[in-house]
Amino acid sequence: MKSILKTMTITALLAAQAAGASAQADGFQYTDERFADLQMLRYKVEGFDALSLRQKTFIYYLQEAALLGRDILFDQNGKYNLRIRKTLETIYTDFQGDRRSADFAALEVYLKRVWFSSGIHHHYGSEKFVPGFSEAFFRTQVKTLPAFKQLVADFGYRNADAFLEEICPVIFNPEVMPKRVNLAAGADLVLTSAGNYYDGVTQAEAEAFYKAQKKADDPRPVMYGMNSRLVKKDGRVQEVKWTTSGLYGEALAPIVAYLNRARQFAEDKDQQAVIDRLVEFYQTGDLHTFDAYTILWAENTAPLVDFVNGFTESYGDPLGMKASWESIVNFKDLEATKRTETLSANAQWFEDHSPVDARFKKDEVKGISAKVITAAILGGDLYPSTAIGINLPNSDWVRREHGSKSVTIGNLTDAYNKAAKGTGFSAEFALGKEELDLMEAYADLTDDLHTDLHECLGHGSGRLLPGVDSDSLKAYGSTIEEARADLFGLYYLADPKLQELGLVPDAQAYKAQYYSYMMNGLMTQLVRIQPGNDIEEAHMRNRALIARWAFENGKADNVVELVKRDGKTYVRINDYEKLRGLFGRLLAEVQRVKSEGDYAGARKLVEDYGVKVDPVLHQEILDRYAHLNLAPYKGFINPVYTAERDREGNIVGVTLSYTEGYAEQMLRYSRDYATLPYVNR
């Protein structure tokens, strides 16, 4: 089960911050530099000063553990990434020529993109970056800068020529490792994906390896393969585990050390037990220990401060099994949490009244806790591009028997909204005044509520039929799971129950989300796709699937239509109530596919509605978007935490600042949190 909504709110996307613009509120600067298709933002850790010294110290040690996993993600995303990052950084810092030259300027942008995506492939679209600097320029720097004489040896090459012959095709040849995650139908997804989760193994071999491990009648299966690289050695397929004494041990050992320091300042004994089990898992790699850790973590809801640290989400694996490393440290927003607690307290009502078949509903919804949090630090696969909502753990049986934690990350949503004002996006793509007024009045509220419903209830709803393998949907599993959670939220946004619970002001509010969702799924998310490409990212496929299915299946009643005005295409919703009915029908079908493990059904839904792009409409959207001079992707610069210590080394205070620049932060992280060898075998 995929549980992190890897996207900003739709409203924030619709009002994406213009290049060079400055957004400031309450004296805080939310926007920073822009480059390529990226806008850097800052988030405010409101309420940190009011925490106790014990809580601040706990956060300080946890954020150190969060930053120490950075190299793991770079290596997971591609086996050359650490070498390439170090090479680019060395040229960037040691360059002797004109820093205003076209080649150097292009290298700077390329390096910033590599930092942002934790590798040489786009963080969202997964395609390899095209460098704007010449291969000759790159080769000259490697051969002439003094630092490279030792560095090339550190990389494991006999000389610079040997290094360049291997690395240059990886960077400059578009045919070499073109996609980090390839989900194209008919391809060997393992061999054609550049991610570093497999070595010398075909898709068929990987699937057979894990199928042989699984027991059809196991009611509590572990998440096979989530913490290992699958390799072929001496003709035999085998796992190389990620542990403190195995692969990635140089990073995991210091992470464990800081987790143990943090343990002393945990808020209760149960939270200490959570850390103990996580440390044990890092040391042993035992997946039963991981399940024990996630159970303790899911049930530990009392503390104000909380964290995620570890191998979590599987979007980077084309087979949807192996988990990327990520971390977030956070504390509860007590006032905003009242909203999510209202939803979680009524979880059984929502489950019982869901439009899905009764066979697929949970008889008893257990342990759904929900809160709004303030992010204190982001790390690994949650940095710089991050989630706005989290629902964990991912294990189906753990969720069924022990429940889950759902969070909305309030200060990140707030940062998106405050940084996204007055760009003209909504005016360009919304049909008219009625739609603009709806979004102006309700969009911020319904965006948050949709996220809450998606994370708190959507991911936690429904059940697999006995004997169904949670990995049965394979490459389509992530898209189907995100569609299921999105549809749950969309369906219930229009339900009178939300008004009864005091969560929406009137019966019209949901229309703002319906309109922005359909506009995004049918049209505006295409600004993130290069001309000629299919949709491949799971969340984008999900939104396209929902919007296009509703559009096509509502044609007979003219529920939604695409209309032309002055040569431009717009979405018009003619019947919001019937649109809700369509969302309910699709939710029922998606839940059936999930519950029955219907791979053919999942493939048909995704391939028919979630993949292909109308090239004419796509070009129109790109042209209209280009006139707005906006950046379609956002990411965050972390605050900097500084510990004040007494003569004995005890922390007596923790301060944070927001002045560190993007390049400054990335270079510091590469210096202070570089843990892994350049080559990890």
Question: Has residue 189 been placed in a domain?
Answer: no
Task: Based on the fold, state whether residues 642 and 630 are members of the same structural domain.
Answer: no
Tens of pLDDT along 79-124?
A: 999 999 999 999 999 999 999 999 999 999 999 999 999 999 999 9
Task: Based on the fold, state whether residues 580 and 644 are members of the same structural domain.
Answer: no
Task: Based on the fold, state whether residues 347 and 252 are members of the same structural domain.
Answer: yes
* Rounded (10°) angle between helices 249-263 and 269-284: 170
Question: Has residue 191 been placed in a domain?
Answer: no
* pLDDT over threshold 60, residue 598: yes
Question: Has residue 254 been placed in a domain?
Answer: yes
- Tell me phi and psi for residue 18, to 5 degrees: -70, 155
- 285 membership: H or E segment, kind and range: none
Question: For position 423, what pLDDT does the model report?
Answer: 76
Task: Based on the fold, state whether residues 602 and 648 are members of the same structural domain.
Answer: no
Query: How many percent of the chain have pLDDT more than 90?
Result: 89
Task: Based on the fold, state whether residues 431 and 320 are members of the same structural domain.
Answer: yes
Task: Based on the fold, state whether residues 130 and 253 are members of the same structural domain.
Answer: no
Residue located via tokens 């205003």: 100
* pLDDT over threshold 90, residue 185: no
Number of domains in the chain: 2
Task: Based on the fold, state whether residues 472 and 556 are members of the same structural domain.
Answer: yes
* pLDDT over threshold 80, residue 289: yes
Domain that holds residue 255: 10-69+246-636
Task: Based on the fold, state whether residues 297 and 357 are members of the same structural domain.
Answer: yes
Task: Based on the fold, state whether residues 107 and 151 are members of the same structural domain.
Answer: yes
Question: For position 145, what pLDDT does the model report?
Answer: 97
Question: Has residue 603 been placed in a domain?
Answer: yes
Question: Has residue 135 been placed in a domain?
Answer: yes
Question: Has residue 182 been placed in a domain?
Answer: no
Task: Based on the fold, state whether residues 420 and 400 are members of the same structural domain.
Answer: yes
CB 113 within 8 A of CB 121: no
Task: Based on the fold, state whether residues 503 and 624 are members of the same structural domain.
Answer: yes
Whole-number Å distance between alpha carbons of 255 and 272: 16
Task: Give the single-character DSSP code of 526.
Answer: G
Provide the token pair at 221: 């299966």
- Tell me phi and psi for residue 669, to 5 degrees: -60, -40
Tens of pLDDT along 456-476?
A: 899 989 999 999 998 999 999
Tens of pLDDT along 230-269?
A: 999 999 999 999 999 999 999 999 999 999 999 999 999 9
Provide the token pair at 99: 């820093």
Q: What pTM was estimated for this model as a whole?
A: 0.88
Question: Has residue 620 been placed in a domain?
Answer: yes
**Nearest one of 387, 369, 392, 593 to 481, comparing CA atoms:** 593
Query: How many percent of the chain have pLDDT more than 70?
Result: 96
Question: Has residue 214 been placed in a domain?
Answer: no
Task: Give the single-character DSSP code of 630.
Answer: B
Task: Based on the fold, state whether residues 326 and 375 are members of the same structural domain.
Answer: yes
Whole-number Å distance between alpha carbons of 254 and 675: 8
